[in-house]
Amino acid sequence: MEYKLILKAIGLEAERAKVKAWAVGGFARDRFIGKTTKDIDICVEGDTHSLIDFCVKKYGAEAKCFKAFGTARVNLACGLKLDFVRCRAELYPKPAALPKVRPSGLKDDLMRRDFTCNALALSIMPGEFLKEYDLFNSREAISKGYIEVLHDKSFVDDPTRLFRAVRFSARFGWPLGKNTERLFREAVREKRASLLSRQRIVNEFVKILREKCSYKALKLADKYGLLDFVFGNLKYGSKIDTLSTFEEKIALLSLMQGERGADFVSSLLLPKEGTALCFEVLKWREAKAAPAKALSAKAVKIIKLYKPAVEPFKLRPLLLKAEDALALGFKGGEIGSALKKLAKAQYRGKIKNKRAAVSFLKNLK
């Protein structure tokens, strides 16, 4: 219950600073369905700085302030992550562009949100602590369970909402509302997602893969033709959800893409560390040879998941090392080429143990 005490204290500070504050978005939605989350979006009518300073001073919190508009992420030692934003109205100068914003009140701030289920606000002010501000039928959307946009231009303004829609729909098992489904199909038909930068599309795809129900979300995106904007003819399967990390999921997906595995991975614009596992499994498959170094446990897990019938000897590291070949009288460049041949033979199941490997090399002499 610590979060309540903290929100109450922030509410008191808001009153002192003569601003108003609400907990909104995912926190309000999840609380309504009986879940508490540690990520809380707090929107403030007025300046956010006094509330951010308060959290830093009172809780020794770490604050990262983002450029414009008094937006900050405040991390508290207890694990709460507070995102402060100033209430704003948004104007999209053209479809899929980043919006122009101006300070505004709660109503405009809720109006700019993606879906009605994410537009509930809970006051944190003294005297009305946790009072619901339901200006857009959020309670109905959450209790009946459906995903509905707030206005008909929503997907045109910001096509990342198409990806968010399938993600929330899969996560909660809530279908798209009738009007929203129509607008969704229209936005796909008009190729609205292709106006987004590659990075923004990839970010949404990554968020889908971070869900427990990625398969369901991908299937839904596929059903509506949205997946083509991520990677044409993407192959995927329900096995991805037996994996818990994003890193493992993309490694499995990279194998599933066959010849296009490496293209798929590069298309995700990930930092090098994030793709090591993908390239480990892809390299193993392309080489069709025993790996010189033992495969990591994660790589073995992914390969077995992809191909349960893989023979165990195909996963074993090379039985001999360069020093073994040297001891057998191989020199310089001969060593590498002899071990390469051994690696292929071992992968094909012709060499089962070290003794057989030694005699294989001797025969190459």
Q: Which two tokens stand for residue 109?
A: 């701030």
- Between residues 10 and 165, which has the closer beta carbon with respect to ligand ATP? 165
Residues touching Mg ion, count (CB under 5 A): 2
In the complex, what is the shortest distance from the CB of residue 242 to ligand ATP, in angstroms, rounded to a whole number? Answer: 22
Q: Which two tokens stand for residue 340?
A: 């390469």
Q: Which of ligand ATP, Mg ion, none does residue 249 bind (CB under 5 to 8 Å by kind)?
A: none
Residue 124 identity: I
Q: Which residue is nearest to Mg ion (CB)?
A: 26
Residue with tokens 């073994």: 324
CA–CA distance, 170 with 207 (Å, rounded to integer) = 12
Single out the segment in contact with Mg ion by CB under 5 A; choices: 32-40, 293-301, 307-315, 334-342.
Answer: 32-40
Write down how long the chain is. 365
Cβ atoms of 361 and 321 within 8 Å: the answer is no
- 88 contributes a contact to ligand ATP by CB under 6 A: no
Closest by CA position to 158, among listed 189, 202, 199, 113: 113
Single out the segment in contact with Mg ion by CB under 5 A; choices: 7-15, 38-46, 327-335, 337-345.
Answer: 38-46
Site for ligand ATP in 19-48 (CB under 6 A): 25-26, 39, 41
Q: Which of ligand ATP, Mg ion, none does residue 160 bind (CB under 5 to 8 Å by kind)?
A: ligand ATP
Contact string 132-161 vs ligand ATP (x = CB under 6 A): --------------------------x-xx
One of 13, 114, 148, 280 touching ligand ATP (CB under 6 A): 114
In the complex, what is the shortest distance from the CB of residue 165 to Mg ion, in angstroms, rounded to a whole number? Answer: 15
Residue 81 identity: K
Single out the segment in contact with Mg ion by CB under 5 A; choices: 12-20, 21-29, 143-151, 174-182.
Answer: 21-29
**Directed axis angle between helix 178-189 and helix 160-172, to 10°?**
140
CA–CA distance, 354 with 360 (Å, rounded to integer) = 10
Backbone angles phi, psi at 347, to 5 degrees: -65, -35
- 132 contributes a contact to Mg ion by CB under 5 A: no
Backbone angles phi, psi at 105, to 5 degrees: -105, 180
End-to-end Cα, the chain, rounded Å: 74
Site for ligand ATP in 259-318 (CB under 6 A): none
Residues that bind ligand ATP (CB under 6 A): 25-26, 39, 41, 113-114, 118, 158, 160-161, 164
